[in-house]
Structure 1
């Protein structure tokens, strides 16, 4: 009888060029029986299978997901960002799974009702350091999302590798360390004070306040994605048509909001020139009537603009750094000023015709009221209405500051629909209609 051969251990694929062993270390050491995946592939899978990512399917991107079957949610936006970021990162030499994991993660911390909800929770959490979607993302990845538990029983979140966790840090500083940009201190930050230990571990050896290459790719992919897709969604939803820009008043408003929201130190003529370049690109769709032909042209426009912006950044970056793999802190992403302005003016279009629309303002006010009411009520009623995991956090909290943070964590995890439903349950149905 022939002896049974011992199974050959499957060796994991080698690290992508430009990465080191410390890059694939985890905050809590793990042993894996299945070694056919790289550590970075495992990171991407953990984010993809997370409950936090699934919840994004019912969270507002720009237009509320219950108003139209076509519009993007935070989930579909994140998937599109990941597609753009993965390809752009790969062409620059980044590990595609590190960039993909960062892109899928980048909006996990956003609360119900999009940036409007973020503003409401920031005001409600002012006394405990505020609320910021990017800091909340880090908190989810390292604490709130259930996957790995430390030996002392404390949660470790998804326990991503150092490279992937660092890549998800778009704003690598606390609120107190927020840098001054264009003469004004930014309100964006990436970590709360009580999450500093894991943040400092992830940032070990990183230059102060500098995002790694993979995070810069993720950030640009996010900008590109929502700049073109929000315009597409708004056109399909009937909010405006690009031919409206022929009207001097509409055009002036777009230029003004682009400067006010995105390019405060730009010149109006510079913004107008960027808009003119896009109009002359050959892919601009002045009028979309809802026909399949018009929808195909609109989809082609978004695709061509994504390619335009990505190619511009890739070529400019390669022109400086050459053909070698550009990873971690070996390089910085270069985006030409003209491309920055073109992306900003696309954002300005959605801002002008959707986010600042007078029709939307009562809805925005009601959304903020709902979240503010929820913070007040949940904080006053202890762990009574909290989900089990958050109720346990409440009971373990050793101060009122910590308990308020638990309430903020709970509310931030809600979807648009579940926030409205909880408000109805606690405050009465006559007060929750949007």
Structure 2
């Protein structure tokens, strides 16, 4: 992937044309509004907690494997590089990339599935909604407002980074369930985030940078964990040929270097394809502004059809050989039990919550109490959730 010097294109989101923040405040003389958004995200408590939240493996299983923090940083790096090549606002793309996983529970998708099941009588749980709750409510650091008071463009990008949530452009997953209440209430009463349109181009880049990062780095983690072998990748389109090419070019290369060299080539191939296909679509559609791009009714940032097929084939392989591996299943089953146990205890006995959380609840087993409990559990790290479970359920534990 060759990246030329930064030239901002007409369809980029421009910081000087931002729709602003919900709560008006003086802007920084030395940073654009999107740089400031990025910096607020990095300095948030939720971002720091990603260090000890699972990507695939439970955090304590090994210190090499990726966490939500390392994943988010990798997504941001890929998003910046692609945005630079396309003439987009790198800072906005980076901000969306860094924020996109803030709402994940401990123990990755296993924790989210468990918490969603627990919250089913109270409207369910969705990590994208939880990210929005963090950005608009739960981060309580600033004197003048709750949340981070990010720009309209950053909030819109985070909420819609996978596409529209309403209307004909929404995908099957979005159409299958009601609009999350936190997002619905915010749009109805505070800012219209135009949920029926595609997001700006930078958010579209961040979404596919996420795909590029987690697919390729899960190959790396899965191989190093011994969940599958290099030979098992031989029949996976794109991946198998790249590993074979590196092995032929460097005979006898040690495994760790073979993996890294192959993965970095895969990332480059996918990013280059994305840039080329996106440039083709932009040349065809000729949007004159980010607003025009949002109104086109389809994604402008995309893989080519062939690379899209490769991406889906790799996802299928990883689902079958990694995410459903018995070693991962053992960890995730334990994680689900931890989340379920904690939820049931806190909802039935909210006085077991820390004081500042207990004060936000009302009677046991009510929607408000359940929502507070979900916020509390979702903010836990893997390690804290395991320690809290031991403190509450092990009769011989003497810690407080």
TM-score w.r.t. structure 2 length? 0.83
* Alignment pair present for 1:391 and 2:361: no
Cα contact 1:285–1:298 (8 A) shared by 2: no
Q: What secondary structure sits across from 1:168 in the alignment?
A: helix
* Alignment pair present for 1:312 and 2:280: no
The equivalent residue for 1:232 is 220
In the aligned structure 1, how far is the partner of 2:392 from the partner of 2:279? 56
* Alignment pair present for 1:407 and 2:373: yes
In the aligned structure 2, how far is the partner of 1:143 from the partner of 1:407? 15
1:244 is aligned, of 232, 248, 266, to: 232
Structure 1 residue 85: deviation in Å? 0.8
Higher relative contact order (CA 8 A, sep 6+): 2
Structure 1 residue 351: deviation in Å? 2.0
* Alignment pair present for 1:28 and 2:23: yes
Structure 1 residues 103-158: Cα deviation after superposition (integer angstroms, max 9, x where no partner): 001111000110011100000011121111111001101110123355xxxx5301
Q: What secondary structure sits across from 2:55 in the alignment?
A: coil
Structure 1 residues 149-185: Cα deviation after superposition (integer angstroms, max 9, x where no partner): 55xxxx530110111111111356669999453xx77
Please, which runs of 5 or more residues in structure 2 have no aligned partner?
1-9, 295-299
Structure 1 residues 4-32: Cα deviation after superposition (integer angstroms, max 9, x where no partner): xxxxxxxxxxx996436562511111124
The equivalent residue for 2:5 is none
In the aligned structure 2, how far is the partner of 1:61 from the partner of 1:177? 32
Alpha carbons of structure 1 residues 73 and 318: separation in structure 2 relative to 1, 3 Å: same
Cα contact 1:227–1:344 (8 A) shared by 2: no
Higher mean C-alpha deviation, range 127-136 or range 295-304: 295-304
* Alignment pair present for 1:341 and 2:341: no
In the aligned structure 2, how far is the partner of 1:178 from the partner of 1:378? 39
The equivalent residue for 2:337 is 369
* Alignment pair present for 1:156 and 2:139: no
Higher mean C-alpha deviation, range 237-246 or range 197-206: 197-206
The equivalent residue for 1:103 is 97
* Alignment pair present for 1:92 and 2:92: no
* Alignment pair present for 1:61 and 2:55: yes
In the aligned structure 2, how far is the partner of 1:29 from the partner of 1:193? 25
The equivalent residue for 2:4 is none
**Higher radius of gyration, 1 or 2:** 1
Q: What secondary structure sits across from 1:330 in the alignment?
A: helix
**Matched residue count:** 377
* Alignment pair present for 1:168 and 2:135: no
Cα contact 1:110–1:118 (8 A) shared by 2: yes
Cα contact 1:383–1:394 (8 A) shared by 2: no
Q: What secondary structure sits across from 2:59 in the alignment?
A: coil
Alpha carbons of structure 1 residues 132 and 297: separation in structure 2 relative to 1, 3 Å: same
The equivalent residue for 1:44 is 38
Structure 1 residue 373: deviation in Å? 0.9
Please, which runs of 5 or more residues in structure 1 have no aligned partner?
1-14, 252-274
The equivalent residue for 2:125 is 131
In the aligned structure 2, how far is the partner of 1:98 from the partner of 1:318? 19
Cα contact 2:55–2:108 (8 A) shared by 1: yes
Structure 1 residue 281: deviation in Å? 3.5
Structure 1 residue 243: deviation in Å? 0.6
1:419 is aligned, of 370, 373, 385, to: 385
In the aligned structure 1, how far is the partner of 2:123 from the partner of 2:167? 9
Structure 1 residues 237-292: Cα deviation after superposition (integer angstroms, max 9, x where no partner): 2222121245xxxx6xxxxxxxxxxxxxxxxxxxxxxx3443224665679xxx98
In the aligned structure 1, how far is the partner of 2:113 from the partner of 2:168? 20
In the aligned structure 1, how far is the partner of 2:396 from the partner of 2:313? 40
Within 5 Å, which residues of 2 pair with 1:249-264? none
In the aligned structure 2, how far is the partner of 1:277 from the partner of 1:336? 13
Alpha carbons of structure 1 residues 413 and 422: separation in structure 2 relative to 1, 3 Å: same
In the aligned structure 2, how far is the partner of 1:59 from the partner of 1:67? 12
Cα contact 2:170–2:196 (8 A) shared by 1: no
* Alignment pair present for 1:353 and 2:343: no
TM-score w.r.t. structure 1 length? 0.77
The equivalent residue for 2:66 is 72
Cα contact 2:157–2:200 (8 A) shared by 1: yes
In the aligned structure 2, how far is the partner of 1:377 from the partner of 1:208? 39
The equivalent residue for 2:75 is 81
CA RMSD of aligned residues (A): 3.3
Alpha carbons of structure 1 residues 320 and 406: separation in structure 2 relative to 1, 3 Å: same
Within 5 Å, which residues of 2 pair with 1:163-202? 163-169=153-159, 170-171=161-162, 179=170, 181=172, 192-199=180-187
